[in-house]
Amino acid sequence: MRWSYRIATLFGTEVRLHVTFVALLAWYAFMAWRVGGEAAAAWAVGFLSLVFASVLLHEFGHVLMAKRFGIRTPDILLSPIGGLARLERMPEEPRQELLVALAGPAVTLGIIVILAGARSLSADPQALWVFDPGHERLLPALLRANIVLLGFNLLPAFPMDGGRVLRAVLSSRIGAVRGTRIAARIGQTFAFGLGLFGLWASPMLVLIAGFIYLAAEAEANAVETRAAGQGMTAAAMMITNLRTLPVYATLTDAIALLLSGEQREFPIVDNDGRLEGMLTRDHLIRGLAEQGPGATVGTVMAAGVEGVSPSLSFDRAMDQLRAGGLAALPVVTPDRVVIGLITADNVTDLLLVRRHLPAAR
């Protein structure tokens, strides 16, 4: 992910920090410093760091529950709008999604119980609801923040946890596609209202509302795409009329091939047609800038690309395409000979045609 950096790896999941989070820390510290000086700034940074540590624990609740169902989580991204655990795939059964969705809030509830227990050992319960950076004790403020996080996450606004619970319940009754679309519409309506409120209250709420709206639409489209591709394999999705480049070809050769047609991604093969890597337009432009037109494609290509079998299911092929980070995915035989290419544009065209074929109705 762009502008994010790995800070740790836990349970096989990378924890990544977006650079804008550092900017948020700096802004929060500056605003606190203006009110109470250096002590207030240090308090603010410590408080915000602990809040995001709570968010991280919440996300690992999702990660560990998903792991129980054989679903891997490649990474968690921490950004100013919260945490995002990127599951390798969504649970196929509504019951599984319900448990994965509830695991995060369950962790937050556990944090609240622990903090409340520790808070009950101290005097002055009213301090729980006082917020004064630089003066308020850290534990009451952290408890209040987790209560707010729990309440916000449980709102039935997809794709937040409460919205995922709603989607799981709806999917068990009316199917995944309709259930997701209804949950997404509810989430987008909530996001619209939150955005309007944010125009008056806080720009951060507008940012969060925009994320919720776009994420809900993307999730609904993804579910509809999976449903439309049900029963398909990589062989049915791939482009078979494609051009490849030998690993010793020059960038000049690649330019000629790029300009001769509409293909933008080229499998790089050895003398026997076996996959060596992928050359995208971005790789080509970068190679021209750094090494010149005489360089070979083998020096600028994306190496270590794993092709997929033509018998791979639609869902798995799409997961591989997204996980690979490239615009195209080569389809290969067992001995790695390239026989096709899967691109997002071709899949979109194929699904549009399938929806209008009489046999698909």
The DSSP secondary structure of 266-301, one letter per residue, reads EEEE-TTSBEEEEE-HHHHHHHHHHH-TTSBGGGTS
Q: Are 245 and 269 in contact (CB under 8 A)?
A: yes
- For residue 90, give every residue at least 6 positions away whose Cβ sits within 8 Å of its Cβ, in sequence order, or none: 71, 97, 223
Residue 360 reports pLDDT greater than 50: no
Q: Which of 14, 59, 219, 265 is catalytic?
A: 59
24-58 pLDDT tens trace: 788 878 887 887 778 778 888 888 888 989 999 99
Structure-token pair, residue 88: 């390798």
Q: What is the mean pLDDT of residues 325-350?
A: 87
Could you tell me if 212 and 260 lie in one domain? no
Q: What is the mean pLDDT of residues 295-318?
A: 88
278: domain CATH number?
3.10.580.10
- Amino acid letter, 340: G
Beta bridge partners, 4, equal: 18
Q: Are 284 and 313 in contact (CB under 8 A)?
A: no
Neighbour count for residue 318 (Cβ, 10 Å):
23
Q: Are 245 and 268 in contact (CB under 8 A)?
A: yes
pLDDT at 125: 57
Q: Are 293 and 285 in contact (CB under 8 A)?
A: no
Active-site residue, 59 included: yes
Kindly report the length of the chain: 361
Check residue 303 and report its DSSP letter. E
Could you tell me if 195 and 300 lie in one domain? no
Query: How many domains is the chain built from?
Result: 2
Minimum mean pLDDT range among 5-14, 124-133, 189-198, 295-304: 124-133
Q: Which of 170, 204, 228 is the last residue of a domain?
A: 228
Could you tell me if 284 and 171 lie in one domain? no
Could you tell me if 51 and 147 lie in one domain? yes
CA angle 354, 360, 361 (to 5 degrees): 125
How much of the chain, in percent, has pLDDT values that exceed 90?
A: 30
- Amino acid letter, 215: A
Q: Are 157 and 191 in contact (CB under 8 A)?
A: yes
Given pLDDT bands bounded at 50, 70 and 90, which one contains residue 2?
Answer: low
Could you tell me if 158 and 224 lie in one domain? yes
How much of the chain, in percent, has pLDDT values that exceed 70?
A: 93
Could you tell me if 198 and 265 lie in one domain? no
Q: Find the domain containing 125 and state its range.
A: 4-228
Q: Which of 198, 228, 258 is the last residue of a domain?
A: 228
Q: Which of 163, 197, 228 is the last residue of a domain?
A: 228
Helix (H, G, I), strand (E, B) or coil at 135: coil
* Distances, alpha carbon 18 to alpha carbons 41, 165, 205, 277, in Å: 21, 27, 18, 29
- By DSSP bridging, strand 266-269 and strand 275-279 are antiparallel
Could you tell me if 294 and 325 lie in one domain? yes
Could you tell me if 132 and 43 lie in one domain? yes
pLDDT at 309: 92
Q: How high does pLDDT run on average in the chain?
A: 85
Backbone angles phi, psi at 200, to 5 degrees: -95, -35
Residue 79 reports pLDDT greater than 60: yes
Could you tell me if 169 and 30 lie in one domain? yes
pLDDT at 35: 78
Neighbour count for residue 74 (Cβ, 10 Å):
13
Q: Alpha-carbon torsion 225, 227, 232, 236, what sign?
A: negative
100-129 pLDDT tens trace: 999 999 999 999 999 888 777 766 655 554
Could you tell me if 239 and 195 lie in one domain? no
Could you tell me if 220 and 255 lie in one domain? no
Could you tell me if 29 and 112 lie in one domain? yes
Q: What is the mean pLDDT of residues 136-157?
A: 85
